[in-house]
Structure 1
């Protein structure tokens, strides 16, 4: 079993990966999703906490002493009962604090960009029926059909939506959608702000739309309106990269390729999204991502 440093959420919080590392991580994750789909499974829970970074194989050769020297000895905390009484015999006297082996995103090199896709607890086979109402993907990454087609079975396309939102977070600082202090309906309004009109049938069934939009589809005056996707990329990805300087920013040609892919992966209708294999064949993947991924795999 491969060991992991940490998940991408831990190391990318308030940090940015260098361009080539962000590309390699995006490519590795897409390959993992493509392989999962090729085996007839939908992951069902794609987000940064389930994307792990593989430890170098050299750690397998460490003795316990060498491991402690490299990463420090285990830290423990004493366990006490809330009521002040002695602990029962089945409770240990001390607990070991989990060891964080990661490093800041900005310190990553291509040799570090080895992705492991974890947590298959929500995965299901293509022949199984997993309805939209049973989707447990975090709200900000959850495909909209889970909300508006709750009785319809989810498919590979659900992973493609979540893959797009996860790649966006790998590239930039600000998520394309956010469920922090937001309701499910607020996330829907964000999706419409960013991506444009949703299918008419969904719009008509969305009883809460009047809280966010006028009947002509324009945002209600006075509420915060999320920027459309081009502007969102500029504000949530590029501007932060310019401020950080050394991590680099995407040039105009690559930005256009990224946005083209994101728009297709974030199509409201699941049948209009590309497959994982088609994502790998996209211009951005072929011209920019896969070359850096290959360099990562070749590096030691």
Structure 2
């Protein structure tokens, strides 16, 4: 199964569709605005791969299957891509195991944030205050660890690369049209919350919490596969020739073939409690430390449906830990019921309207209401910058309680093996979610309060033991 997660970008060209061996790529959000494109070269569109126009100076590094990087890492297949990098499965010919190689774009404007932040998070000397309510003293295992770091040079510039332990895929991919067993869902929610608690205790905000960035480790036996055995199990790389629209030969800036990302994981209903211990919260490219740097709401790049409302209504104010709590709350909801609490394909005006429907207009801050309900005052606001109440007819979304019944419980009843939540647990879940999704960031639960909540203590955290 493939995904249409190419970008918010459409070219009316001939489409080349890839084989069905693959599923959704691990592309969380394409930040294409960071780069200037060369409009003189266009490529035939290929479903399921990165934006090919970004193979240019300051862009992606062209990679082919069997390429050797750093005289050590042989490329075996592709795992995913984002606006800032491509991610590849490689065989470490020195250590004789598999690694994920993340190859960044070469843009000089792109700081090498992620490796630095991950090293700081794993450094026990950095703010060594464990999450007070976290039961897992080894919570840092839920964060990726940098194995090796190096640079590669190519026709598009010099690219920062680093290797990590490969993962089987994201929870978003695993849960596509499927449900996690109820015990597994509880444990995944608890493990993700303890990971966020660890990050916050180290003085960082993750800044991009959603299920495409929540991965699950591969079994330890994966490294025992030779490349030939790997091919026998997962198939040959799914490659599609790249061609230019104008029919001219390819330059060295772009690879001869595009590779559709491979999904190594299993379906949600096949997950066990043992799998939950391998949860990894990945992609720290948006992470920041509120104590040492300022991240304004307008610079928030998390997908719109997961974005805390203060980033929309107060774009010139700094974000902090509560923005993670909002995103974590929506992620927990999605783990429990597969369906996202708000629409993932609407404008910011419609998403805010849905948030007000679900959470209640009486909870909407008065300081935002005037902006939200404005009429004929566009000269005060940059067009589209601040959400505005839709004036056209729209379908009203259900309240939180009804949404849980319709979006979570109803799906679980149709799949009896997944399990449903009893009345007492449902009440505790809704109490937790409402506390995490308060409009005013200062009123949201802290991560320690999340971990001390009734649902976490009675139902979720015990599944990790």
- TM-score, with structure 2 as normaliser: 0.58
Looking at structure 2, the residues matched to 81 and 144 of structure 1 have their Cα atoms a distance apart, in angstroms, of 42
Shift of 1:272: 1.1
Instruction: Give the aligned partner of residue 122 of structure 1.
Output: 286
Instruction: Give the aligned partner of residue 273 of structure 1.
Output: 444
Shift of 1:96: 3.5
Map 1:168-207; keep pairs closer than 5 Å. Answer: 168-180=333-345, 182-196=346-360, 197=362, 198-207=364-373
Looking at structure 2, the residues matched to 221 and 129 of structure 1 have their Cα atoms a distance apart, in angstroms, of 37
Q: Indicate if the aligned counterparts of 1:19 and 1:248 stay in contact, CA closer than 8 A.
A: yes
Instruction: Give the aligned partner of residue 84 of structure 1.
Output: 247
Looking at structure 2, the residues matched to 95 and 204 of structure 1 have their Cα atoms a distance apart, in angstroms, of 49
Looking at structure 2, the residues matched to 220 and 84 of structure 1 have their Cα atoms a distance apart, in angstroms, of 47
Shift of 1:220: 8.7
Q: What residue ranges of structure 1 are gaps of 5+ in the alignment?
A: 211-218, 295-300
> Which stretch shifts more, 272-281 or 256-265?
272-281
Secondary structure of the 1:41 match is coil
Looking at structure 1, the residues matched to 170 and 375 of structure 2 have their Cα atoms a distance apart, in angstroms, of 36
Q: 2:401 aligns with which of 214, 220, 230?
A: 230
Map 1:80-159; keep pairs closer than 5 Å. Answer: 80-89=243-252, 91-113=254-276, 114-127=278-291, 128-159=293-324
Deviations 1:130-165 (A, max 9, x none): 111221121111111112222221110100000000
Q: Indicate if the aligned counterparts of 1:203 and 1:209 stay in contact, CA closer than 8 A.
A: no
Secondary structure of the 2:216 match is strand
CA distance 1:208–1:138, change in 2 (3 Å): farther
Secondary structure of the 2:418 match is coil
Deviations 1:150-198 (A, max 9, x none): 2221110100000000111111132111141x22111111111111120
Shift of 1:37: 0.8
Instruction: Give the aligned partner of residue 195 of structure 2.
Output: 32
Q: Indicate if the aligned counterparts of 1:14 and 1:173 stay in contact, CA closer than 8 A.
A: yes
Looking at structure 1, the residues matched to 254 and 297 of structure 2 have their Cα atoms a distance apart, in angstroms, of 40
> Which stretch shifts more, 14-23 or 84-93?
84-93
Residue 258 of structure 1 pairs with residue 258 of structure 2 = no
CA distance 1:90–1:130, change in 2 (3 Å): closer
CA distance 1:5–1:186, change in 2 (3 Å): same
- TM-score, with structure 1 as normaliser: 0.88
Shift of 1:225: 1.0
CA distance 1:200–1:94, change in 2 (3 Å): closer
Shift of 1:91: 4.2
Looking at structure 2, the residues matched to 154 and 103 of structure 1 have their Cα atoms a distance apart, in angstroms, of 36
Q: Indicate if the aligned counterparts of 1:5 and 1:53 stay in contact, CA closer than 8 A.
A: yes
Pairwise CA RMSD: 2.1
> Which stretch shifts more, 105-114 or 157-166?
105-114
Shift of 1:69: 2.9
CA distance 1:90–1:262, change in 2 (3 Å): closer
Instruction: Give the aligned partner of residue 216 of structure 1.
Output: none
Deviations 1:91-136 (A, max 9, x none): 4433433221122211211222221111111111122111112211
Secondary structure of the 1:102 match is coil
> Which stretch shifts more, 193-202 or 65-74?
65-74
Q: Indicate if the aligned counterparts of 1:43 and 1:122 stay in contact, CA closer than 8 A.
A: yes
More strand by share: 2
Q: What residue ranges of structure 2 are gaps of 5+ in the alignment?
A: 1-163, 377-389
CA distance 1:242–1:208, change in 2 (3 Å): farther
More helix by share: 1
Shift of 1:209: 8.2
Residue 287 of structure 1 pairs with residue 458 of structure 2 = yes
Q: How many residues align?
A: 285
Residue 160 of structure 1 pairs with residue 325 of structure 2 = yes
Looking at structure 2, the residues matched to 134 and 92 of structure 1 have their Cα atoms a distance apart, in angstroms, of 32
Looking at structure 2, the residues matched to 238 and 32 of structure 1 have their Cα atoms a distance apart, in angstroms, of 26
